[in-house]
């Protein structure tokens, strides 16, 4: 087995490196604590070791060893459940909820990243066997770059136009531009909102984007991201300051209303633009004939 040592080391090294690079803290704000990093890094290392070992196993005609990959797949599905459970438990005490769609998206991402790591390790090993250490190095770089771009996904900024919107009242009704949010009864609350609230309009670039914004989970994700980045004045006894995203039923555009700790419109627009498009909210009616016909 000694002759395969460099193959295995190279493969699992590349896989673990890929996992490490995929672990950077992004707009999902998760995981944000050392123990989360440790558990995901270790699982990534195990996944890449499995991927890397598979190649020498095949070369030695030890085909039963290859079936261990199936076992690994089972483990990773378990990770998805664990992630989902953890996030759902944490959700209860959050003022600005992530929403079930967002949680499902994060859980799925964590599962998928382990497969990516395994694939990276596997093909790096193959390349090392075929073309030596340098071949392996090139394959590792290519595969890691592929993993990083492949998993990046779209953001709201890619599919929508995000522009500042004016917060105003019609009587007691709170509006951002032409979109109606709620009735705010107390005059002093209204004054505070007029002075301190920010609003943005999120206009879909096409019908696919409009369908994505229609999803409540996606809208919760936008409000959540904005609240995490900007801070929120909401508290349990001030539901008036809950960040909300509501739709214009005629155009399909949505507006976000938020009472931020940092009143900075530029940052808010950026935060909304960087909100990930949730996998579960991503629909493409324009891919169908009927959808295209409906669009014009």
Partner 1 sequence: MSEGEKQILAVITTNKDKVTGAVPIFIAENDREKEKTALFLAKTLDAMVHDLENGVYFIVRH
Closest distance of CB 246 from partner 1, Å: 10
Q: Which of 205, 195, 207, 210 is nearest to 241 (CA)?
A: 195
Q: Give the number of other CB atoms < 10 A from CB of residue 175.
A: 19
Q: Which stretch binds partner 1 (CB under 8 A): 146-154, 238-246, 249-257, 271-279?
A: 238-246
H/E run at residue 168: strand 167-170
Q: How many residues sit close enough to partner 1 to count as binding (CB under 8 A)? A: 22
Q: How far apart are CA 260 and CA 230, in angstroms?
A: 6
Q: Is 272 in the site for partner 1 (CB under 8 A)?
A: no
Sign of CA dihedral 50, 52, 58, 61: negative
What lies within 8 Å, CB to CB, of 250 at 6+ separation is none
Q: Is 239 in the site for partner 1 (CB under 8 A)?
A: yes
Can the peptide bond before residue 31 be classed as cis, meaning omega within 30 degrees of 0?
A: yes
Angle between helices 68-91 and 34-59 in degrees, nearest 10: 170
Single residue of 29, 67, 81, 183 touching partner 1 by CB under 8 A: 183
Map the footprint of partner 1 across residues 159-178, applying CB under 8 A.
171-172
CB nearer partner 1, residue 30 or residue 102: 102
Q: How far apart are CA 151 and CA 112, in angstroms?
A: 9
Q: Is 240 in the site for partner 1 (CB under 8 A)?
A: yes
Secondary structure tally for the chain: helices H, strands E: 11, 7
Map the footprint of partner 1 across residues 74-113, applying CB under 8 A.
97, 99
Map the footprint of partner 1 across residues 200-229, applying CB under 8 A.
216, 219-220, 223
Closest distance of CB 212 from partner 1, Å: 17
CB nearer partner 1, residue 71 or residue 236: 236
Q: Is 187 in the site for partner 1 (CB under 8 A)?
A: yes
CB nearer partner 1, residue 28 or residue 224: 224
Footprint on this chain of partner 1 (rule: CB under 8 A)? 97, 99, 171-172, 182-189, 216, 219-220, 223, 236-237, 239-240, 242, 244
């Amino acid at each position: 087995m000694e002759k395969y040592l460099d193959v295995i080391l190279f493969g699992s090294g590349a896989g673990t490196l890929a996992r490490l690079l995929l672990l950077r803290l992004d707009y999902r704000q998760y995981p944000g604590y050392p123990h989360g990093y440790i558990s995901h890094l270790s699982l990534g290392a195990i996944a890449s070791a499995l991927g890397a070992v598979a190649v020498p196993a095949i070369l030695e005609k030890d085909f039963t060893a290859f079936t261990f990959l199936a076992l690994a797949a089972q483990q990773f599905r378990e990770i998805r459940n664990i992630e989902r459970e953890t996030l759902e438990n944490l959700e209860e005490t959050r003022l600005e909820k992530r929403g079930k769609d967002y949680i499902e998206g994060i859980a799925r991402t964590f599962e998928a990243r382990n497969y990516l790591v395994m694939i990276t390790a596997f093909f790096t090993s193959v390349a090392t066997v075929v073309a030596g250490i340098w071949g392996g190095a090139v394959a590792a770089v290519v595969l890691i770059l592929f993993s990083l771009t492949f998993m990046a996904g779209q953001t709201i900024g890619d599919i929508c136009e995000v522009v500042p919107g004016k917060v105003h009242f019609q009587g007691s009704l709170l509006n951002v531009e032409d979109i109606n949010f709620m009735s705010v009864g107390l005059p002093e609350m209204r004054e505070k909102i007029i002075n301190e609230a920010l609003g943005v309009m999120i206009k879909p670039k096409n019908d696919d984007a409009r369908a994505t914004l229609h999803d409540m989970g996606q809208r919760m994700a936008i409000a959540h991201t904005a609240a995490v980045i900007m801070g929120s004045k909401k508290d349990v006894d001030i539901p008036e300051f809950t960040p909300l995203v509501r739709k214009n039923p005629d155009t399909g555009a949505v507006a976000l209303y938020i009472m931020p700790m940092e009143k900075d419109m530029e940052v808010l627009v950026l935060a909304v633009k960087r909100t990930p498009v949730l996998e579960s909210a991503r629909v493409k009616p324009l891919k169908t004939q009927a959808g295209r016909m409906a669009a014009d």
